[in-house]
Amino acid sequence: MRGTPEKQQGATGWLGILIMPILSYSLRSHGEGHLRFSNGIEQLGSSETMHRKVYRRALNKVGDKAYTRVIRAVGKQMGLKRGQVLKYGGVGKVRANYKRQDYQIVSRGEEVPLREFGAKQFSYGIRARPWGKATRFTGMFINAGRWTSGDPVAQGHVFQRVTSSSLPIEKQFGPSVPEEIVKNETAAAFYRVADELPARIAHEIAQVTRGAVG
């Protein structure tokens, strides 16, 4: 299992993927657990369809739980609400099936506009909360003219001058969901849930073998 941020080939933005493969977890079982798995596998017989059915059900059950935890964790990690995470992160899930025996949580998107982190205009610049931490951004601005004008340059977005002149200006951004989803507490939340997979596999085997693995 791994989570790796990488640039999308041929497109702007980031691609972040968390993968839960069946192999790395089924091989973890040892001792009594290994005996239980062995007994269960024997009961399943040589039917590849039955094996894949068990793995698919286990992966999707645990994977769906991990998806919920990841969305919650990355929002807290970045300082965003769930709706913002889904809007800017394009977070989706690719569930296991009979042919593909893994579960993927995929995020595609660019950096989130700094406006989305509660940006407010002050005399010194902007205060916003990327990563959930109040931060000063000196020299940046939301309003045209004086900072007290109350007239946003563009829908409340944050800007900064490129040179000492009034123009050009550039819109400012915070972190991106695809980059954040594969690290720190969000990745840890994914791994914690993924560690439940062996037990879930044993449960699914017990269901189809009428308790051979209990």
Q: What percent of the chain has pLDDT over 70?
A: 79
Residues in the chain: 214
**Quick one: residue 190, left, alpha or beta (phi over 0 = left, psi -120 to 50 = alpha)?**
alpha
Q: Is a pLDDT exceeding 90 seen at residue 18?
A: no
Q: What pTM was estimated for this model as a whole? A: 0.82
Task: Report the pLDDT value the prediction gives residue 40, as an integer from 0 to 100.
Answer: 55
Among the ranges given (2-16, 23-37, 63-77), the one the predictor scored with the smallest mean pLDDT = 23-37
Q: Is a pLDDT exceeding 50 seen at residue 139?
A: yes
CA–CA dist 80, 43 (Å, integer): 48
Q: Which residue has the higher pLDDT, 81 or 155?
A: 81
What confidence tier does 2 reach under pLDDT thresholds 50, 70, 90?
very low
Q: 42-72: per-residue pLDDT in tens?
A: 566 556 677 788 889 999 999 999 999 999 9
96-100, 121-125, 144-148: range with highest mean pLDDT: 121-125
Among the ranges given (106-110, 161-165, 206-210), the one the predictor scored with the smallest mean pLDDT = 206-210
Among the ranges given (22-31, 39-48, 143-152, 200-209), the one the predictor scored with the smallest mean pLDDT = 22-31
The alpha carbon of residue 109 and the mean position of all alpha carbons in its chain are separated, in whole angstroms, by 11
CA–CA dist 181, 68 (Å, integer): 12
Q: What are the residue ranges spanned by the domains of the chain?
A: 2-111+176-208, 114-174
Task: Report the pLDDT value the prediction gives residue 118, as an integer from 0 to 100.
Answer: 96
Average pLDDT, the chain: 83
CA–CA dist 193, 156 (Å, integer): 38
Amino acid at 92: G
Average pLDDT over residues 88-96: 92
Q: 163-199: per-residue pLDDT in tens?
A: 888 889 999 999 999 999 999 999 999 999 988 888 8
What confidence tier does 203 reach under pLDDT thresholds 50, 70, 90?
confident
